[in-house]
């Protein structure tokens, strides 16, 4: 049987270790999420009750349909809470390990900063900073490659959306200096 050569190999220098300790188990997160959803159901249910969740002369009031949905959400969350409590005692499946958590944060934190920077410097500058920064700091890719990729990608996005398709994106002082 012919054994072909493996021709595409991409290594991952930042891969998480296999034996990383667990930060939190799925059962705990499930309980936490059910509690949050229960709180949300109570809040939304109250707001719909306040808006009007019964009948008047014209038919169902605005809060009628969403109020009963809040009840269903609350019921589902309560059931989930009990089910998760029972299952929690039996097994503790890992939700995220420390190494995985670090890697998720390595994407999440830059994305959060990107959203923040977009508000002040516009989307294109924020995009350039995110791509160049992420490639350099997280991917350990050569600086010139990171800067060039970020510039080319941002320029393509600008030409595609703002110029070719007339989809106007949030701008900042840099674009303003160029008259956009």
Partner 1 sequence: MEAFGLLLHGFAVLLTWKTLVLMMVGLVLGIFVGVLPGLGGPNGVAILLPLTFTMDPTSAIVMLSCIYWGALFGGAITSILFNIPGEAWSVATTFDGYPMAQQGRAAEALTAAFTSSFIGSLVAVLLITFLAPMISSFALKFGPPEFFAVYLLTFCSFVGLGREAKHKTVISMSLGLLLAGIGMDTVSGNLRMTFGSPELLRGINFLVAVIGLFGISEILLTMEERLALRGHAASISLRVVLGVWRNLPKYWMTLLRCSFIGCWLGITPGGAIAASFMGYNLAKRFTKDPESFGKGRIEGVFAPETAAHASGTAALLPMLALGIPGSGTAAILLGGLMVWGLNPGPLLFVEHKDFVWGLIASMYLGNVVGLVLVLTTVPIFASILRVPFAAVAPMIVVSCAIGAYAIQNAMFDIWLMLGFGIVGYVFKKIGIPLAPFTLALVLGNRAEDAFRLSMIGASGDLKVFWSNGLVGSITTLAIVLLFWPAIDNLLGRVGWRPRAKTAAQ
Residues 146-175 that bind partner 1 (CB under 8 A): 149, 153-154, 157, 160-161, 165-170
Match 């705990």 to its residue by tokens. Answer: 28
Binder of partner 1 out of 8, 89, 90, 91 (CB under 8 A):
8
**Alpha carbon distance 161, 145 (integer Å):** 24
The residues pairing with 56 across neighbouring beta strands, listed in sequence order, are: 59
- Should residue 23 be labelled a site residue for partner 1 when binding is judged by CB under 8 A? no
Cβ at position 144, least distance to partner 1 in Å: 13
Nearer to partner 1, 170 or 173 (CB): 170
- Should residue 125 be labelled a site residue for partner 1 when binding is judged by CB under 8 A? no
Cβ at position 177, least distance to partner 1 in Å: 21
Token output for 9: 């190999």
CA nearest 92: which of 31, 16, 17? 31
Binder of partner 1 out of 23, 33, 42, 147 (CB under 8 A):
33
CA nearest 127: which of 139, 137, 113? 113
Binder of partner 1 out of 23, 35, 37, 92 (CB under 8 A):
37
Cβ at position 43, least distance to partner 1 in Å: 8
- Contact string 82-101 vs partner 1 (x = CB under 8 A): -x-----------xx---x-
Helix 123-133, helix 98-121: angle, nearest 10: 150
CA nearest 21: which of 91, 94, 104, 105? 94
């Amino acid at each position: 049987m012919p054994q072909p050569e493996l021709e595409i190999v991409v290594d991952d220098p930042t891969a998480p270790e296999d034996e990383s300790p667990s930060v939190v188990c799925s059962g705990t997160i499930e309980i936490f999420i059910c509690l949050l959803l229960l709180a949300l159901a109570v809040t939304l249910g109250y707001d719909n009750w306040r808006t009007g969740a019964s009948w008047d002369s014209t038919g169902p009031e605005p809060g009628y349909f969403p109020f009963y949905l809040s009840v269903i959400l609350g019921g589902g969350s309560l059931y989930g809470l009990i089910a998760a409590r029972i299952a929690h005692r039996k097994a503790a499946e890992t939700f995220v390990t420390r190494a995985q958590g670090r890697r998720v944060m390595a994407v999440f934190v830059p994305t959060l900063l990107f959203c923040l920077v977009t508000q002040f410097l516009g989307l294109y500058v924020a995009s350039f900073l995110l791509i160049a920064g992420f490639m350099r700091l997280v991917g350990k890719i050569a600086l010139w490659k990171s800067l060039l990729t970020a510039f080319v990608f941002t320029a393509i996005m600008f030409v595609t959306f703002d110029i070719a398709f007339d989809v106007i994106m949030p701008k900042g002082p840099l674009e303003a200096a160029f008259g956009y």
